[in-house]
Structure 1
């Protein structure tokens, strides 16, 4: 699963990387602030590239909400949905059948740019967070879907069965987010993409040689510690904990 991410790039860097423009110029200053740890369960605002307007970076709430809800109901829905994972992730295997996902997958797919994400590794009954990033510090494109509640955009990150690398990292749930290959990421936003094309992009194996993964502080899991700081992305080694 993918409940914790990082986004430390400036808006201009994202605009240049994806050839897009920020939809709300007044939000530039806020999104230029680096976010070292975005905890999905706080439902933060993040930037996405939506299929319906793929030339922009739009701000959206992390945690997909059913289309039949009103904007005033979003907070209450999140409180109820926490037992289902808060809408933070969507299993790609259920895209065509789930009552929320099937309405979004055809015309409301999105790219979520992140500089990295965190996954839990279990060792001797304890969880140790791994940080996964591009080895050259490029942005990673996660695949997602979204809904629009009045004018509020809500999104979720797609997951799939773990690859060999992620099965070592996320060794309890054996899941991983869908990372789009740079050469095919724009295909994810194509209006004419059919079900077969969607599944093909989801099932493409991302080149694991392009990723760097290492353990970080267990402060990531503590609600009493503000882990949204540069130190949370620094490597911390633990005796016996290794995926090599």
Structure 2
């Protein structure tokens, strides 16, 4: 599972990471965010006729055929790698609409319910991570509003990650970006070893989706006994 992550990078960093993006005439304003929760708008990289483009998408995929309200789609912010090719929710996007979701880090929790300790996990070298993702477009029937949405694909945890959680985001290597985005690569890309990772404990303020996601102190290491675990509020992950 991946229920929270971070996107904090400069325009120059994301262009280089994307090998590169198709640079628009004007650079978009990139706001660093350190605790992104599901249904929030995030950056995704998609393949278009012009090249690779950075777009915005709601985190929590809504398939194009969905007839109910957006908030009734369920927990589609993650898609399991072993089911992504045959799930009704994700099959069409896996075949036709893949994306890369850049991430500075992601979070997982250890400990019993009510005393969850958040761990921030990033690339060991401090670089960006490339989460394998899917996207789709959906039109809200009552309003006619078109919404682009996405999901992060998850896989079984590797040996290192299994000490924290039994699942982790599927991460792509730069040499596989083309094959993933153009669809010539299959699920084997999702099972490749991730880059070397590192982790540290952060503030339990991350436990609440109400914590401002633009607060850089959420990424700072803390001693686990330095503060009392924050009880999640209704609508949080725990």
* Range of TM-score over shorter length: 0.7 to 0.9
The aligned counterpart of 1:46 is 42
Q: Which residue in the other structure is 1:168 paired with?
A: 163
Does the C-alpha gap of structure 1 residues 52 and 168 become closer, same or farther in structure 2, counting only changes over 3 Å? same
> Which consecutive residues of structure 1, in runs of 5 or more, have no partner in the other structure?
240-244
The 5 Å alignment of 1:182-221 reads 182-191=174-183, 193=184, 197-207=185-195, 210-221=196-207
CA RMSD of aligned residues (A): 2.2
Equivalent positions of 1:54-203 (< 5 A) are 54-69=51-66, 76-78=69-71, 80-81=72-73, 84-85=74-75, 87-122=76-111, 126-150=115-139, 151-170=146-165, 174-191=166-183, 193=184, 197-203=185-191
Change (3 A) 1:5 1:162: same
The number of aligned residues is: 217
Q: TM-score, normalised by structure 2?
A: 0.82
Greater share of helix:
1
Q: Tell me, which stretches of 5 or more residues in structure 2 are unaligned?
A: 140-145, 226-238
CA contact (8 A) 1:20 1:57 kept: yes
Check conservation: 1:22, 1:58, Cα contact below 8 A. no
Which residue of 2 is the match for residue 36 of structure 1? 34
Q: What's the counterpart of residue 242 of structure 1? A: none
> What is the Cα deviation at residue 97 of structure 1?
1.6
Which one of 210, 216, 228 corresponds to residue 230 of structure 1?
Answer: 216
| Change in CA separation of 1:202 and 1:186 when aligned onto 2, cut-off 3 Å | same
In 1, Cα distance between equivalents of 2:82 and 2:48 = 23
> C-alpha displacement at 1:25, in angstroms?
4.3
CA-CA distance at 1:21 after TM superposition: 3.0
Off by >4 Å, runs of 4+ in structure 1: 22-26
Q: State the Cα deviation string for residues 22-74 of structure 1 (Å, max 9, x = none).
A: 66947x12xx221111112xx1111111244552111111110021247xx6x
